[in-house]
């Protein structure tokens, strides 16, 4: 089984083999087999992978790694699913929402009442000056635009002295006094029916109604009766302003009990009864006037 070696190889070392001699002969498998009396180790053969078929594009060039991986995945047959087919549930019928008809609010009847034409309000000092400049420039050049006249008047007004402006200021004060007199005459000439129809027209257009002087006056509250009496007292007359007096009076009113307030609340109750009776008579007369003078 073992291969014999020549004697000359062992002549130098007649003694037994040591570990160092074994290491020196371990480079060759034959010497190592003689020393250890074992079979020589066989070197493992190298496994060479067979080159697989490279994937090529239509133009003949080899594809990249990502492209080849994607192509292999696409060529693999899809696995059959082992899940059982689920039964589709029938869709429940959806109830259609029916919108309820919205009730439209009845439109208020259109009141065909002509607005009351009273005296016109006078302008300020500049508007009076503008009126004079407008008449003067239109006389010279009738084709001149209004905007141009206004610019010219504004520049002229800046150049005026204080004494020249004072003339127009006096004119505006006098015009305002004349307007107030004429306005009072106009209001005195109006009947309760005129006030009622004008207020109906204003309320339809959501405007502030006129104050009808023919209406009976509203009653004072208990606190107002108390405040009128307390204004005469010296303890509240010390306060410098009316607002401070009223605040002090209101504090005293809050501290009073019902028995102390009774005299003032009774006055309010009497006035309220009188007011409601007078108002009922006034509204009845007004309805009769509307029937006698229809629109």
pLDDT tens for 147-200 read 999 999 999 999 999 999 999 999 999 999 999 999 999 998 998 899 989 888
Task: State residue 83's pLDDT score.
Answer: 66
Sequence length of the chain is 295
Task: State residue 292's pLDDT score.
Answer: 86
Task: State residue 271's pLDDT score.
Answer: 94
Question: How much is the mean pLDDT over the chain?
Answer: 78
Nearest Cα residue to 236 out of 223, 246, 225 = 246
Residue 188: helix, strand or coil by DSSP?
A: helix
CA distance 112 to 114: 7
Residue 206: which region, alpha, beta or left (left: phi > 0; alpha: psi -120 to 50)? left
Compare 84 and 277 and report the one with higher pLDDT. Answer: 277
Most confident by average pLDDT, 27-41, 48-62, 168-182: 168-182
Outline which parts of the chain fall under CATH 1.10.30.10. 115-189
Contact 167, 264 (CB under 8 A): no
Compare 185 and 62 and report the one with higher pLDDT. Answer: 185
DSSP string computed for 60-118:
SPBPPHHHHHHHHHHHSPPPPP-SPPPPPPPPPPPPPPPPPPPPPPPPPPPP--PPP--
**pLDDT band of 44, cuts 50, 70, 90:** low
The answer, yes or no, to whether residue 58 has pLDDT greater than 50, is: yes
Q: Which helix (H) or strand (E) element contains residue 8?
A: none
What is the average pLDDT across 246-274? 93
Compare 62 and 248 and report the one with higher pLDDT. Answer: 248
CA distance 48 to 26: 28
| Interior/surface letters 269-291, b for 16+ CB within 10 angstroms, e for the rest | eebeeeeeeeeeeeeeebeeeee
**pLDDT band of 234, cuts 50, 70, 90:** confident
What is the average pLDDT across 232-253? 87
The alpha carbon of residue 91 and the mean position of all alpha carbons in its chain are separated, in whole angstroms, by: 41
Ranking 28-32, 54-58, 145-149, 276-280 by mean pLDDT, the lowest is 28-32
CB count within 10 Å of CB 91 equals: 6
DSSP 8-state secondary structure symbol assigned to residue 217: P
The answer, yes or no, to whether residue 33 has pLDDT greater than 50, is: no
Contact 14, 3 (CB under 8 A): no
The answer, yes or no, to whether residue 9 has pLDDT greater than 70, is: no
Q: State percent of the chain over pLDDT 70.
A: 64
Homologous superfamily of the 115-189 domain (CATH)? High mobility group box domain (1.10.30.10)
**pLDDT band of 264, cuts 50, 70, 90:** very high
CA distance 50 to 39: 32
Q: Please tell me the pTM assigned to this model.
A: 0.49
* φ, ψ of residue 55 in degrees (nearest 5): -80, 135
Compare 285 and 25 and report the one with higher pLDDT. Answer: 285
Task: State residue 14's pLDDT score.
Answer: 47
């Amino acid at each position: 089984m073992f291969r014999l070696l020549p004697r000359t190889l062992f002549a130098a070392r007649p003694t037994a083999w040591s570990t160092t001699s074994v290491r020196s002969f371990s480079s060759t498998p034959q010497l190592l087999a003689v020393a250890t009396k074992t079979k020589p180790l066989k070197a493992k053969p190298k496994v060479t992978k067979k080159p697989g078929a490279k994937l090529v594009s239509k133009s003949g060039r080899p594809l990249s790694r990502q492209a080849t991986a994607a192509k292999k995945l696409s060529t693999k047959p899809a696995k059959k699913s082992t899940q059982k087919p689920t039964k589709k549930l029938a869709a429940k019928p959806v109830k259609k929402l029916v919108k309820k008809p919205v009730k439209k609010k009845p439109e208020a009847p259109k009141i065909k009442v002509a607005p009351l034409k009273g005296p016109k309000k006078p302008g300020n000092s500049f508007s009076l000056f503008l009126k004079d400049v407008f008449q003067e420039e239109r006389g010279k050049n009738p084709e001149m635009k209004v905007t141009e006249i206004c610019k010219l008047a504004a520049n002229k007004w800046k150049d005026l002295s204080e004494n020249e402006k004072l003339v127009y200021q006096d004119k505006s004060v006098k015009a305002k006094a004349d307007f107030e007199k004429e306005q009072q005459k106009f209001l005195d000439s109006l009947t309760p029916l005129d006030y009622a129809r004008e207020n109906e027209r204003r309320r339809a257009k959501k405007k502030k109604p006129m104050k009808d002087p023919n209406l009976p006056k509203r009653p004072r509250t208990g606190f107002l009766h108390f405040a009128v009496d307390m204004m005469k007292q010296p303890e509240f007359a010390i306060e410098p302003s009316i607002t401070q007096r009223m605040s002090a009076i209101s504090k005293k009113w809050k501290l009073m009990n019902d028995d102390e307030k009774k005299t003032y609340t009774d006055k309010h109750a009497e006035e309220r009864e009188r007011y409601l009776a007078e108002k009922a008579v006034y509204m009845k007369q007004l309805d009769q006037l509307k029937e006698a003078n229809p629109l």
